[in-house]
Structure 1
Amino acid sequence: MTLLALVMSVAALLGLAGCSSSETDAALTAIESGATVIDVRTPAEYDSGHVDGALNIDVQAPDFAEKVGELPKDETYVVYCRSGNRSAAAIDIMEDLGFTDLIDGGAYSSLS
């Protein structure tokens, strides 16, 4: 998938999540700048469709904190899930682990 297709996919994702224009702009800018996208849904949800290139780290898995803790804390991350609830929970955990540049991408809908 090209960068343009990825940006368009994330724009659709953020629009469906009900994000404000400034949140959408921030997420798109972050992705264009090389932010890592993290899908915090279950592996089955991820397999049913996801943003191309997104890492799948299930926030409900017992090793979530351990897995995200292995990521560089000084990078930018856009985090999303199905409805926006798990992405918010994931961001809370990540902030507790010392991550500082986090953008809640909210909800994901299957992209065609």
Structure 2
Amino acid sequence: MTDSPDKAEVRRGLARIRALRRLFLGILFGYFPILVLCMAHIRRSGHWHALAVPLLLFVAGMVVQKILHGRRCPRCGELFFVQTVTRTSYTPDSAWSFPPQKACQNCGLRLNH
């Protein structure tokens, strides 16, 4: 028996990461327009309860980002978006691990593999 995951397992793992990444990017890019609409509603109606929508969206984005940063690569088992930095592997951009990255920061497995 081998320790490496089979192709179906890798595809399922990548599909889960892609789905979470899409959700995170949707929240990220949808936040400002929703905030503007809520602020316009507050200005017209005077009711501040509409502010709950962008606040909940902000919290949801933080939760999804935390989950994304904890996702492990289905091939190498290391954190997908976080590179292990050592003296020999350090590069100035190595700390960049924002979820729009399209490859594992350790083994290079592409999300669209």
Higher relative contact order, chain-length normalized (CA < 8 Å, sep 6+): 1
- Report which of the two has the higher share of helix: 2
User: Structure 1 length normalisation: TM-score?
Assistant: 0.28
Greater Rg over alpha carbons, structure: 2
Relative to its length, the structure with more strand (as a share) is 1
